[in-house]
Amino acid sequence: MNKTYLGELEELILTMVGILKEEAYGNAIVQEVQSQLERKLNLSGVHVTLYRLEDKGLVKSHMGGATNERGGRRKRYFELTSAGISVLHSLQEQRLKLWNLMPELKMAGL
């Protein structure tokens, strides 16, 4: 089976979908990244990344119910698929494994 490789933004947004659970839609992700990491993302970038993750089968989406706020438009909610969850798991494992292989880390100059 082909291994799935993810870009930095893809990985971040996949993680965000996992964190936000039922509330994961474009704008919520932008706001969450802003408040957690103080990092500004552009909405269009988030959307495109979400669609790409969907193409890769890591997330799936559905439309929510009608709202009164946003001009009456529905939200497109995203959630992790099992493939998405397993990718998140393996990412975490890989990182830990590599981290453990690292000799004691010293800050340069200290």
Partner 1 sequence: MNNVQPPKRITNLLEWVCPNYLFEGIVGDLEEQFYDDLEVMSVKRARRRYWWNTLRFIRPGILLRNNAKLNIINTIMVRNYLKTAGRNMAKRKLFSFINAFGLSIGIAFYILIYLFIMDEKSFDQFHVNKDKIYRLEEMAYDTWQNNPEEPYNYSAYLQTGLGPVLKDEVSQIKYAARFNPDNQGIVSFGDKVFTESLSYTDPDFFKMFSFPLIAGNSDGLLTDKYQVVITPEVANKYFGTQDALGKVLKIDNYGEHEYTVAGIIAQPPANSSLQFQILLSQSNRPYYDRNMENWSSFSTPTFVQLVDNADMTSFEDNLAKLVDKYMQKSLKRARERVSIPEGMTVFKYQYTPLLDMHLNTQVSWTKSSDPKYSLILGGIAILILIIACINYISLSLTTSATRKTEVGVRKAIGAQRSQLISQFALESVILAVTSMLIGLALMFVFLPAFNEFTRKEIALSFGIILQIAGLGFALAVVIGLLSGFYPAFFLSAFKPSQVLKGGFTTKMKAGFTKPLVVLQFALSAFLIISSVIMYQQMEYITTKDLGYNQEQILVVPTQMGWSEESNKAVERMRTRLSQDPDVVGVAGTSLSFNQGWSKYGYTINEEQKSAYVFAVDPYYIDVLNIEMKEGRNFDPAISSDTSAVVVNEALVADMGWENPTEEYLNWREDTVGLGAKVIGVTKDYHFLSLEHAIEPMFLSMDKKEVGYLTQMLIKFKPGSLAGSVDKMQSIWNEMSPDKPFDYTFLDQDVAKQYASHKRWMSIMGLSTLFAILISCLGLFGLAGINALNRTKEIGIRKVFGAELSNIFVLLNKEYVFLAIIAFALAAPLSWYVMQMWLEDFKYGISMSWQLFALSMAVGLFIALVTVSYHAIRTAYINPAETLKYE
37 binds partner 1 (CB under 8 A): no
70 binds partner 1 (CB under 8 A): yes
- Here the tokens at position 31 are 């706001």
- 3 or 40: whose CB is closer to partner 1? 40
**For residues 46 and 25, what is the distance between their CA atoms, to the nearest angstrom?**
10
Give the three-class secondary structure for 48.
helix
35 binds partner 1 (CB under 8 A): no
CA of residue 107 relative to chain centroid, distance: 30
- Asked if residues 47 and 8 have their Cβ atoms less than 8 Å apart, the reply is no
**For residues 27 and 49, what is the distance between their CA atoms, to the nearest angstrom?**
13
63 binds partner 1 (CB under 8 A): yes
75 binds partner 1 (CB under 8 A): yes
- 66 or 96: whose CB is closer to partner 1? 66
- Asked if residues 27 and 73 have their Cβ atoms less than 8 Å apart, the reply is no
| Binding residues with partner 1: total (CB under 8 A) | 22
Q: Which residues bind partner 1 (CB under 8 A)?
A: 25-27, 30, 42-45, 47-48, 51-52, 61, 63, 67, 69-71, 73-76
